[in-house]
Homo-oligomer: A and B are copies of this chain.
Amino acid sequence: MPSISEKGKMMPASPIRKLVPFAEEAKRKGRKVYHLNIGQPDIPTPEPALKAIREMDLEVVAYSHSAGNESYRRKLAAYYTSIGIPVDHHQLLITTGGSEAILFAMMTCFNPGEEVITPEPFYANYNGFAAAAGVKINPITSVIENGFALPPVSEIEKKIGPSTKGIIICNPNNPTGYLYSKEELYQLRDIVNKYDLYLFSDEVYREFCYDGKSHFSAMQLEGIEENVIMLDSVSKRYSSCGSRIGALVTRNSEVINTALKFAQARLSPPSFGQLAAEASLDTPPEYFEKVYDEYIHRRDFLVEALNKMPGVDCPVPGGAFYAIARLPVDDSDAFSQWLLSDFEYKNATVMLAPASGFYATPGLGKQEVRIAYVLKIDDLREAMKCLEVALKEYPGRTV
């Protein structure tokens, strides 16, 4: 039997999905599982998107343009322009989810063996795309004590070596919920400029910024226009994860032209998803106000509930819909699996994402979990009750 590739062997399983078989087993036993492991909101997809699908009149479901339908690209460019990111439709490619935008950006910009710096904990699926592109992720550790702020510039500069080709940030951050300030982005700009790096800015949670703070996009940084690649998605903005529609946005035309070659190889992004995504841009503002209020409500409830539990520490996230909590357990991987395999409270349990998988440095995140507050308050309440009981019962508790 021929062997599996080295990158396939080395690639870590997704911390979000690796416990899925245990969750399936728990469900087979008849248990209710509260899914706090994955950023799959229970928020309804906007009606204009659903309507566009129900009323679609395609007779032949054909390939679209490899860069995405021009009508959608124009409308999306107008949307970005309206929120202070002026681009035109030649400066973006529609991708199959934000995932493909990350993959294309890595394939286009980095050679195998080159390095990309990213603050850890980071979105674990960067590992998969880095493995695919043969790129090494060089982590710079952010810490729970200051709510996972950007590490000091001096620390970032220490990481830069001859193989360093770029920096990836996710803002607001998944998994920490941290919202980078304008000042932090200016600091990144200076590093990017000084060392001529790419700056990948994953902004799929852009519209989820709380506490009166506004989002500052890497696309708004002057002087590094050719270095910045924005990665985006409709998954979270319109609760439309299954549509698999994202975008790669940059003012660097060489990057667009090269990424388009990878896009042409896979022919086109999904046609139905593009219909939904284009129609989503007509979602009335009331939808977002309601969603926004709901997430703040959930966040506040979650963070308060967590911090009330003995030994639990959870900083208040400034954006997105994730929080990292430190739990009084020996090993959050073991605890998360135990929750699914050995625990139940009123015939229910909780699925968490162990944070170790969001760190590249071995040993970090061992007491932390990522919690996605994507469930309605009543469900969150039940989930928190479960978690509280579980923390008392867990044999590996440390408090």
Residues of A within 8 A of B (CB-CB), count: 87
Q: A59-B44, A270-B243 are in contact. Are A125 and B265 (CB under 8 A)?
A: yes
Minimum CB–CB distance for A277 against chain B, Å: 10
In the complex, what distance in Å separates the CA atom of A265 from the CA atom of B197?
A: 25
Residue pair B58, A50 in contact (C-beta under 8 Å): yes
Contact among B54, B96, B258, B259 with A96 in the assembled complex (CB-CB below 8 Å): B96
In the complex, what distance in Å separates the CA atom of A119 from the CA atom of B79?
A: 47
Residue pair B128, A112 in contact (C-beta under 8 Å): no
In the complex, what distance in Å separates the CA atom of A107 from the CA atom of B112?
A: 13
Set of chain B residues within 8 Å of A272, measured between Cβ atoms:
53, 242-243, 270, 272-273, 276
Contact among B103, B125, B243 with A271 in the assembled complex (CB-CB below 8 Å): B243
Whether a CB of chain B sits under 8 angstroms from the CB of A196 is: yes
Nearest to A110 among chain B residues (CB) is B5
Set of chain B residues within 8 Å of A58, measured between Cβ atoms:
45, 50, 242
Residue pair A276, B61 in contact (C-beta under 8 Å): yes
Residue pair B128, A264 in contact (C-beta under 8 Å): yes
In the complex, what distance in Å separates the CA atom of A97 from the CA atom of B103?
A: 16
Whether a CB of chain B sits under 8 angstroms from the CB of A266 is: yes
Number of this chain's copies in the assembly equals 2
9-residue interface stretch from A9-17, A26-34, A333-341, A347-355: A9-17
Q: A7-B111, A50-B58, A261-B8 are in contact. Are A99 and B276 (CB under 8 A)?
A: no
Set of chain B residues within 8 Å of A261, measured between Cβ atoms:
8, 11-14, 128
Give the interface of A toward B (CB within 8 A). 1-2, 4-9, 11-14, 16-18, 20, 38, 40-45, 49-50, 53-56, 58-66, 96-97, 99-100, 103, 107-112, 125, 127-129, 132-134, 165-166, 196-198, 226-227, 239-244, 252, 254-255, 258-259, 261-262, 264-273, 276
16 contacts between A and B (CB under 8 A): A2-B109, A5-B107, A5-B109, A5-B258, A8-B258, A12-B261, A43-B60, A54-B54, A96-B96, A103-B266, A112-B112, A129-B265, A132-B132, A243-B270, A244-B269, A273-B273
